[in-house]
Amino acid sequence: MKILLSFMLAIAFQVAIGQSPSEKIVQKQVDAYNQRNIDQFMATYSSHIEVYLFPDSLLMSGKEDMRKHYQEMFEAAPDLSCMIINRIGMGNNVIDREYVKRNGKYLDAIAIYKVEQDSIVRVTFILE
């Protein structure tokens, strides 16, 4: 119940103040993730995307590597979903506290996005 209330308050706050261009790109990415739409999901990323595990372990580099990874995940997890608990945006940086469901298991995560020229160029995950 606390998670649902936090989620509703975060959405209400975002609607009240509006979203920055960087936050809109990140939200578009989250929406595509929740729909498991690989083409819309990948359209939000730069061709030079880098994905890290905090602080600096490179997990994926480039769209081809990322597409392969996420396509497999989308196909293997019919219950895949991400709920944003909290979002902080400043300039071209967006930090999301996420609650992710995948194959009946839940994960608490933080995703730090860097956006340049309407594309996500870097993501760093902090996992529980």
Interatomic CA distance for residues 49 and 111, integer angstroms: 14
pTM: 0.84
Averaged confidence pLDDT in the chain: 91
CA distance to 23, 99, 105, 111, 117, per residue, from 88 (Å)? 9, 15, 26, 11, 19
pLDDT band at 125 (very low <50, low <70, confident <90, very high): very high
pLDDT band at 128 (very low <50, low <70, confident <90, very high): confident
Is the per-residue pLDDT at 7 higher than 80?
Answer: no
Interatomic CA distance for residues 94 and 88, integer angstroms: 6
Q: Where are the domains of the chain?
A: 2-127
Is the per-residue pLDDT at 12 higher than 60?
Answer: no
Cβ contact 94:26 at 8 Å: yes
Give 17-59 as a 3 state SS string: HCCCHHHHHHHHHHHHHHHCCHHHHHCCEEEEEEEEECCCEEE
Is the per-residue pLDDT at 6 higher than 90?
Answer: no
pLDDT in tens, 70-117: 999 999 999 999 999 999 999 999 999 999 999 999 999 999 999 999
Thinking of the domain 2-127, which architecture would CATH place it in? Answer: Roll (3.10)
Is the per-residue pLDDT at 5 higher than 70?
Answer: no
pLDDT of residue 16: 46
Cβ contact 17:27 at 8 Å: no
pLDDT band at 53 (very low <50, low <70, confident <90, very high): very high
DSSP secondary-structure letter at 96? E
